[in-house]
Chains A and B, each alone.
Chain A
Amino acid sequence: MPIEIWLIFILCVMIIASIAALEIKDILSSIIAIGVVGLGVSLSFLFLQAPDLAVVQFLFEIFALIILVRAFVKKEYHQHEESKTNLLISIVTIIVLGLLFLLSLPVFQNLPAFGKPLMTVSEYYLFHGALQTGAANLVAAIILDYRAYDTLGEVTVLFTAVIGALSILKIRSKEKNRETSNE
């Protein structure tokens, strides 16, 4: 079976799951539907022969699922307020999205054929990467040798995010402890 059919099938499942995640009233079922979307992304990476991305996407999906369940299931987020959607706004949104799609159609037609990105840069890495870096995994060769500076930036982003989260949460728990000790 050609790979495009599998990809279209996975994309349909992801679209249905994201609609379900929006529409389901129960918060736990909604979180699980979000997990189905992430699993679809991971599977499509696997079908496109990118196991590195598939592994990382799958693991982060589990991680995000645990945090979401831990954070939201206990709380009283279960009640939904029925919001009235404005008819005019939805019509305008549909028209704008349709126009965007029609305008971007020529771009999609000019793209290279599926699975054939004949770029000089990637060809250079494919032919010279293993010899120049000595790494059998070309993805590792690119992210840690050719583009190691970008990886340093990513690590810095992670570091900053963790420091920010830790400092905010620590300040809040300290304040709360002070309040309880005063009582």
Chain B
Amino acid sequence: MNKEPGMTLIVKTVTRISVWLIILYGFYIIFHGHLTPGGGFGGGVIIALALLNVLLAYGKDFTRKWLNIKLLENFESSSITLFLIVGIIGMAVGGSFLFNFIDKGTLFNMLSSGTILPLNIIIGIKVAMSLFLVVMALAAYNFDKGDEQ
């Protein structure tokens, strides 16, 4: 029975159904960060936990085939650059770093609060990718045969 990597069929089926719902919920939390509690950090951790769910249920080889790890690393590295670019555009438009240069909109609207929404999305991507990549690196590193001297 243990030839197949990962957990049992029940866990795999439940994961296959629920992982997209969890990712959708994470995006909901990120995109409503300026309206409801949550925001980039909370939503990012939810997405990372959904991917971690796949990793635990299916094993690391399947996850490496399913996701393009190099692409995720590029996302992770470029999100901080995007944060800096938003800040520098603010400096060009308003005169101070991270100036809120987009139109504020009306309160409680989806597209309100200027740069807070894009910065939330950037932070969400950043947190999700970095937490998941750390777990992937830990999974790739074999703990049982590690260098313990």
Which residues does A use to contact B, with CB under 8 Å?
51-52, 54-56, 59-60, 62-63, 66-67, 70-71, 74-75, 130, 133-137, 139-141, 143-145, 148-149, 151-152, 155-156, 158-159, 161-162, 165-166, 169-170, 172-173, 176
Contacts and interface: CB of A to CB of B under 8 A. Distances in A.
A140 B134 contact: no
Nearest to A130: B107
B140 interface: yes
Nearest to B123: A155
B142 interface: yes
A162 B135 CA distance: 10
Given A145-B116, A176-B142, A140 B34 contact: yes
Chain B interface size band reads 35 or more
Given A66-B56, A155-B83, A145 B39 contact: no
A59 B49 contact: yes
B138 A67 contact: yes
Task: Tell me what chain A mostly uses at the interface: helix, strand, loop, or mixed.
Answer: helix
A162 to B, nearest CB: 4
Contact of A162 (B76, B120, B143): B76
Task: Tell me what chain B mostly uses at the interface: helix, strand, loop, or mixed.
Answer: helix
Contact of B137 (A52, A55, A130, A165): A165
Contact of A144 (B29, B119, B131, B144): B119
Nearest to A134: B104
Contact of A140 (B33, B84, B87): B33
Interface in B114-149: 114-116, 119-120, 123, 126-127, 130-131, 133-135, 137-147
A137 B35 contact: yes
B86 to A, nearest CB: 9
Contacts of A169: 137-138, 140-141
A173 B141 contact: yes
13 contacts: A52-B37, A56-B41, A56-B42, A134-B112, A136-B107, A144-B123, A155-B83, A155-B126, A161-B134, A162-B134, A166-B133, A166-B134, A169-B141
A133 B83 contact: no
